Structure 1
Amino acid sequence: MPRRIPRALLPLLVGALATGLTVTGAAPALATSGPGSAGEPATTQGSAATATPESGAPEPTAPTPEPTPSATGTPSPSASPAPAPTTSPAPSASSQVEIAEDPSLATQNAARNHAMGSTIAANDPNSSAKSARGLSSFAGGLPPGVPGLDVSGWQVLTAANWRTIAANGAKFVYVKATESTDYKSSQFAEQYNDSYAAGLIHGAYHFATPNTSSGATQANYFVNNGGGWSADGRTLPPLLDIEYNPYGATCYGLSAAEMVSWIRDFSNTILARTGRLPAIYSTTDWWTRCTGNNPGFGANPLFIARYPSNISSGAGTLPAGWSNYSIWQYASSGIFPGDQDTFNGTLANLQQFASNGPIVEPMAAPVIGVGDFNGDGKPDLIGRRSNGALLFYAGTGSVTGMSTGYQSAQQIGTGWGVYDALVGTGDLNGDGKPDLLARRTNGTLWFYAGTGRVGGGSEGYAAAVQVGSGYDQYSQLVGAGDFTGDGKADVLGVKPDGTLWLLPGTGRAVANGIFGTPTQIGSSWNTWKVLLGVGDLDRDGKPDLVGIRADGTAGFYSGTWSAPYYKVAVPITIPGVSSTDVFAAPGDFDGDGIPDLLDRTVSGELRFIGGGQIAEGYAAGRVLSQNWASTSQVIPAGDIDGDGKPDVLTTGTDGSLYLHPGTRTSTVFGASVKIGSNWTVYSRVVATGDFNGDKKPDFLGIRPDGTLWFYAGTGKVGSGDEGYAKAVQIGHGWNVYSSIVGVGDLNGDGKNDLVAVRPDGVAMFYAGTGIADATHEGYKPAVQLGTGWNGGADLIGPKDFSGDGKADLITRTPDGTVTLKLGTGTVNGAKTFSRNALIGRGWSIFSSVAGVGDLDGDGKNDLVAVRPDGTVYFYSGTGDAGAVTTGYAKAAVAIGRGWDIFR
């Protein structure tokens, strides 16, 4: 067994060796253990368990990420769905060196040599640091990100030790250089240079003592003794280690204002000397106590310290001013000597961080659109939590105030934290089912074939197959769809230098054969914070790209299917974007035929951003001089009085039926005429247009008992004529429907039809026969149109609102969302309407809304709406409802909370 050297004796040992003394009984060895299979992904067969945010986090609202896993625990990680990596095996015990834990704080005080984080265990109530904690005791597995470490003079490491550290997976290190203005680490030069030679990205840190000298003085001392910076891509920014005072008062006797001034002095001096703002290492507790939680250092990279008892709880609440951390020190010991750290991103991100270039984060990684993963015809989502749990959200195909667009979560895997990127690629292997790619921090690429089924024993994907290596050269991997036009799904890669590479799909998911030869197809693509394959946004049949900058500006690239496969970028606007937001491209999430975006804010809110700027189809509302107080329903009756102008009927709460004759003047309506009473016997009155084939508009009444009554229009009002003949019963059982509307000639046969919706959202179509009387019902047996029509919604129609000559339908949900269903001129189940288009919000202020025909004589169909107080609004139609321009909706819609559990 290797022998341990107490770290308290290491400075003495170094001094003895320097003076030529012989020391016996000391056989230095670095105790490390290879990663083995720890953290391997494992599926939870058929599990419906869901995720729980960390303690203290706000509970998500259903059906956002689900709380509390089920009582049947997730299986421990195993070789499924990903086999053990084929990278270099862990070194054997004979090549390892064992290092004892850091000495006590008292010993460090006596030596005036403090390691980063040495004061945390005794002071920070939010950490549970334990000395010599081994890898196996990290509950929740290792955190996601790029692994690294930090060391001080208490670790004596040789060049061989550093090669072992690199072989065990470390990619970066911070090395202590100085403390105050009277200490320089005797190990700094060797640690700094040997780690670099072993391939690690390295950086230097300074342990601050703000009560001994000014910030500028200590910054200069630090830079003069190793704390510099170089834009070589291998050097981390200088690091200020500012934590609890090991010698006395926690905040060194400084007030919050004095401490902020000291840190600012140090930071500005480092910037002036090196051209780079220093990173700041601290804890949230110390920052709150000693700076008053000052938010003014958000431009400095944050190196947060928190030692949770369960790694899956994450880095915790960050100090004010930072929405995210760059590096997290999560344990005082583990795989590597010194403290255990992780960089928040990919290796390519780390290299960009070192070079001070813009970090292009793979923003789609925590939550991704995966296409129709469960085979129900609707696009779905997958989210990966920081503890490696993989959650599946089945899409509903509808986004309204009644539907968020997704169902409750199902947990479909664990251990996915070993990957630094997940990519929804579409069908890579040609079997017709969408697949997944996942990349490890070592650059290996793993393929998960989609099964097209989630639940009932299937997690939605087959066991992983390694299909390549070296993919850590890309800062982003983007599922682009069939970008080349050959019928196979392709992937794009962005490198840190900004070059864009096409990875053409082969249709075969085999090792080193999933893609053809990579081809560079662009440069300067690192100007985008995130690049998304969004699908066919401009509706030309070819997949497109959208790039988003940190300031929210965006560019649209129309796909061409010929080299370089995209057109010049066109600026577009994405509403309400912040530099901290993350994005997913889920495809057509709301069922309107246009691909959409999802945006997760730093607060965890999930927002829906509809594809295309959609024309509402009407001008701004205008208040009319009439007041229709006590109106219970507005009925678009057509030309009831036979003067060639469309009219409107209203029913009053007292049972009166009023005609409001259209004038096609600025007043819109003439004086109201009462043409009936006792209409309270009907729970609903429906305008049908010419339902009996006599060229005159008719209407129906539905009683609470479900009987259906037909009123044939006479085409005249006055001189004893009410405008309609005596009622004839033509049906029964119609009280099963919550909404009924005459939809005009929906199926194109020249006869007017009906659509009715049940409370459960099932929509039924009744084709008109053109004959309605005492012996003819006037309609054929019902045919189901579809489901998910939001039971309880109003149906508004029947008119051509889009200007294409086909009858459309408008729905209004109780929350005021107004949606246009564009008719196709035929009836074919769910394909009766080509797509849905959101054309309004806030219409719940009206008690009744009706599509009333062309009231103002401009050739376009209009709307009338009545408020509960009787105020009448007229909305002149524009004839282009649902028309789409390339881009995104003017406003984002919140569809969930608590999505910050995904990292």
Structure 2
Amino acid sequence: MTATPWCKTPSGARSLLAFLITLLLTLPAFSQTPIFPVLPFDFALFPSSTYAYADFNGDGQVDQAAPNGINAIGISFNNGANHSPTFGTIQLTCQPQSVVAADLNNDSKSDLAFSCQTPNQPAYIGVVLGNGDGTFQAASYYAVPGAASVPTLTTVDLNGDGYLDVAVLIGSSQVGVLLNQGSGKPGSLLTASLYAAPAGVSFLYISAGDFNGDGKQDIVAGNTQIAVYYGKGDGTLNTPQLTTASAPGGRPFVTGDFNRDGLADIAFLGSPAQGSATSLQVLLGDPSGKLVTGSNLPLDPSVNYSWIVPFQNTSTSNITNFALIGYVTSIALNDGSGDLSLGESYGVSTFAIAQTGSNGNTNLYFQSDVESVALVGNGNGTFQGPPTTLLGGGSGVAISADLNADGISDVLSIDSAGNLVAALGRGNGTFLVSSRSSGTGQLLVTGDFNGDGNLDAVTIFPGAVDFHGNTLSTTSLYFYRGNGGGVFQPNTTPQNLTITSALTPLVGDFNGDNKLDLILPYKAENVDPEAPQPPSGVLFLAGNGDGTFATPVSLPLPYNTIGFAADLNNDHKLDIIGGDTVSLGNGDGTFTQQPLGITGTILAVSDLNGDGKPDLVIFNNATSIGLYAGNGDGTFQTTPFYSTSAFSPQAGTTPLVAIGDVNGDGHPDLILQYLLVIAPRLQVLLGDGTGNFTPDSNNYPLGAATSSIATLARLNNTAPPPAADHALDYLYSVGGAVTSLLNQLNPGPSVPISYTSTTTLSSSTSGAAPGQQLTLTATVIGATIGATPTGSVSFVADGKILGIAPLTNGVATLAISFPAAGTFAVIANYPGDINSVASSSNPLSLAIAPVASKTVLELSFTGTGLNTEPLFYATVSGLNPTGTVTFNSGTTTLGTAPVLNGTASFTYTFLTAGNHPVTATYSGDVANLPSTSNTFGVDVPEYSITTSPISAVVKAGQSATATFTVNPSVGYTGTLKFACGPLPTGVTCTFTPASITPSSGPATTTLTITTTAPTTALLRRLAIPLQGTALASFLFLILIPRRSSKWSRSGRLIALMIAAGLISLSGCSSSSPSSSGSNTLATPAGVYNIGVNITDSTSNVQNPFFTFQVTVQ
């Protein structure tokens, strides 16, 4: 179909945006000389992650295809630099979600594949084939069964027929493949084949590549986890394999050959759960089918990197670098082998695409609200754009001042850990971190608080309350003494206050003693309005001139009146203005209040109309900015002498203001930084010195929507001295990054001094065995005090990267092992950072060789005689030995066994009698040298012995027998003697006969095991104590009174019978000594293993123990 004009009937968000872009891009170009860098506009498109880019009309320009939300795809035809694009549409029957450009029918013309959805119907994949002239054929649609949405798709040849197929995500839990019908019907797709995601894994992004080098394309999908579907080469996919990647932030990944080994790799932003990215990580493709961990580049999470854009420096380069886009854009440089280092950063943001310029260098084009802006590439991994310095550690507050009195503005900030960070300006818009002093502050002011002529710092921990207004912590002040060189020494003793929830104080001499004081407001916020409100107010802290402050004095001022300090009535005493109140200073630390009479937020105080009296810049309810003239007595005109609109309906956030001369005419100008959501920007109002201002027509885009610094500064080392510099530069910050906009009216800066670094390398040991872990330690020292090098260090041996480790306080450690023996020269490479240039260590020689092993042989026996089966145990010591042990008897190999957990066991039956010397030889492995054990002699007699039975069950007093049969070999003439080992209580053992001579054939002997039962002698011994009892009973019966005839007849009779029995029993006992046999103890019940020793008279060798088991019941 023919692309029709898109902007005639706009409807929906995308079409409205496109309409606005069209109007803005058709405006004539401004010719006013830019004051600050203006990023080139030579790519009239609107970069987005859901758009497609290709030359659709054959004019050599990259065009854009975008879902527009109105059942159509919008086409933007690029008409070249400084020319507005031509718009058109491709009408569809469904609402497109995502679109990719590819040649699907192999006619060398760009086509489009897209996903789309229709309410209450399955999602579709659509194809429109391009005609090469900007027109397209009618769309074809292919339903995806069971899919409510297809968020993203990619094209790849999965069956090797030379035609691109389409792979899609179906919802977040499936991957779908729609094969191209190829030569039979090119560009037409077959029914989707579906592949489930691993259990518990959801997908948001999809890509493709050959990750195992088998020549078959694979699919990779992921979100918080990444899985690879290895292709079979016939259009089908294997079961997905989860990688080791974990990216809880759920950011996009990219694929490509990042180490130039011919295999596809994956790069992604690693982060903690729901946190900002902390690293750029690479998974390298591997023939094993298991992706291996590659480079891991640490990142500052405060920059909030969200996008990765891979690019090559030039059209002929094959090395892939990465543009990391967050609040600013940082370049990750690749050394060609996959080792990454952080390069320069630039003050641009939002999504970007990489395109080759007319000179062959790669440019980066960034999304903006009115046009794309470009970072023009230099062809070496650097770009022409606003330089940005990453201070590290994030920053919630920052100020600019000349910390070392060299005439170049510096930066002082507090990082996210509360540390005070000083960064010295280098004269080219970049900064060198000169010190990082520990602390816990959150608010920051600077000044010479101890009177030594050097700038100091005071940080403030504000304290906090909970939602109910209860105090959790109170306010503390921390003094840092500056040395005049950018280094600050903290005072370990804070000044603690009784208030909480302090706000940023004002600094000045408010009591006229030439010492800097503080005016400190405090007010708790985010407290339940129904709860009692914590107190608020203002404290005056008089400076003592030594970095400490006097006991605070409460001032009768509302907390919200503390905005700016200036001499408003020309009495040479500092006054305060804020909110709707003017507080005129009395010169003694007290103030007299009067109403301001103007509503709005005060943004700045300065003389803007040239009458020598301070004027006000006020933001009026997000509608306009007004300039109000001061009367010189602390009062102000209530009607502005100049006003400007709030620049954009989106600028609801209070803008930031800077005042100074930027165009070299000697008059103050007004610079407004608007914190727009889509694209923050700078508006410059050029003052004529009388109160009139002319807007600068140039567009100065900024990198991010938040800022803690917005100030004019002297950043250029070739600019006139500070007092004569009437073309000031602009400095702003976001997170842990500061960006400089150098004034274009000054000469370009000279190259700053390169600060060297020194890298040294050490190892936990000078040598190790293959596979044995050792630790490499690289120490990197910067050239300046406090400039601790940051980033990472790569460890290289003979040109191969062993690993990459992050620097922590200038030290990087890597645990590593070498798989093979050899001598390796290891070097630690530090790629440099914003403060220090690259450096490498001297080579460190490591000798990797196997360690000595030791093999010890032991054995036990099963069976006897010719049936003896020695069980050999070879214990191998060394470094986790593996491999095999070979058991030899002389020159005969008995067998081999694997070494498992340091032991190899082996059983062997000797078939010939005699002495057999046995040794165990360990084969060795990559980490252990071979070794041979001691010799162990095994004597095998010339006979065999069998036993039947091998166990018996008897009652105490019974006997058990077993027959031992000796089978001699031919010519054996010896005698075998049989004897039992130690016997249990009450057990006897006899052999009948006790020895045998089996010279003429098998011979037997019988073993008799006899147990002992309880005897009558035992009963007699038990009866002796009853004799006295019996006699006493008899006398009792004779002498007892006869009280009852009944008892007399029956009871006496029974008692006499019992007594007679006892006497009879006791009488059976003899008073003479008993025989020894009558004292034998009974065999207790139990299970007994009775050992049998067999001695051979011919060799006097005692054979292994036989065991006969007897169970006594």
TM-score (norm 1): 0.30
TM-score (norm 2): 0.25
* Structure 1 or 2: more strand by fraction: 2
Instruction: Identify the structure with bigger relative contact order (alpha carbons < 8 Å, sequence gap 6+).
Output: 1
* Structure 1 or 2: more helix by fraction: 1
Rg larger for:
2
